[in-house]
């Protein structure tokens, strides 16, 4: 396991471990150039779904409210939907981190995405009776539905398709 001096066809000199190519050849994950057409297409669809889910979610939260609303907050106790808002904020942060993890096929990205989708869905259901939920515009509701459907599809593909094997190795 020594280091050897190599010279390429352009005359550049580099230090290279002789076993580097042997380790690369025995890697469990094939390089992108050797993927089957079906797997390459699945990776493209998977990444498009991730980007669609993230962009539609951030577009939905940037759409202005449909109507003004009034919220009365007690100074002695927080409103019941405040806990749902906190859980939703944590789910948003987790989905942002999971988006990056899924794009790079990190093994922990799958369970983080699944947990964030469950927590986010539960917090949206809990906050559906709040005054904010009634003021959200129909476009925002549509974009949130598209985002939720895309996230569920991403989780399903990450666990059940031929992409699941790409998450099992260490990077």
Residue 92: enclosing H or E segment and its boundaries? helix 82-103
Calpha distance 14→5 (Å, rounded): 6
With 90 as the cut, is the pLDDT of residue 134 above it?
no
Task: Go through 57-68 and write b for each residue having 16 or more CB atoms within 10 A of its CB, e for each that does not.
Answer: beebeebeeeee
Residue 107 has pLDDT above 60, yes or no: yes
Please state the pTM of the whole predicted model: 0.69
* Calpha distance 41→23 (Å, rounded): 27
Using pLDDT thresholds of 50, 70 and 90, give the confidence band for residue 48.
very high
Between 105 and 171, the more confident residue is 105
Domain ranges for the chain: 35-167
């Amino acid at each position: 396991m020594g280091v050897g001096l190599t010279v390429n066809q352009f005359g550049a000199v580099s230090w290279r471990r002789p076993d580097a190519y042997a380790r690369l050849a025995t890697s469990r994950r094939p390089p992108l150039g050797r993927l089957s057409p079906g797997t390459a297409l699945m990776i493209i669809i998977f990444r498009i779904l991730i980007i669609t889910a993230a962009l539609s979610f951030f577009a939905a939260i940037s759409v202005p409210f449909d109507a003004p609303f009034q919220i009365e907050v007690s100074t002695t106790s927080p409103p019941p939907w405040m806990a749902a808002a906190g859980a939703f904020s944590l789910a948003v942060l987790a989905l942002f981190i999971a988006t990056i993890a899924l794009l790079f096929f990190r093994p922990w990205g799958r369970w983080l995405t699944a947990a964030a989708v469950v927590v986010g869905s539960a917090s949206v259901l809990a906050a559906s009776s709040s005054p904010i939920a009634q003021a959200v515009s129909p476009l925002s509701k549509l974009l949130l539905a598209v985002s939720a459907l895309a996230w569920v599809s991403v989780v399903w593909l990450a666990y059940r398709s031929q992409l699941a094997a790409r998450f099992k190795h260490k990077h």
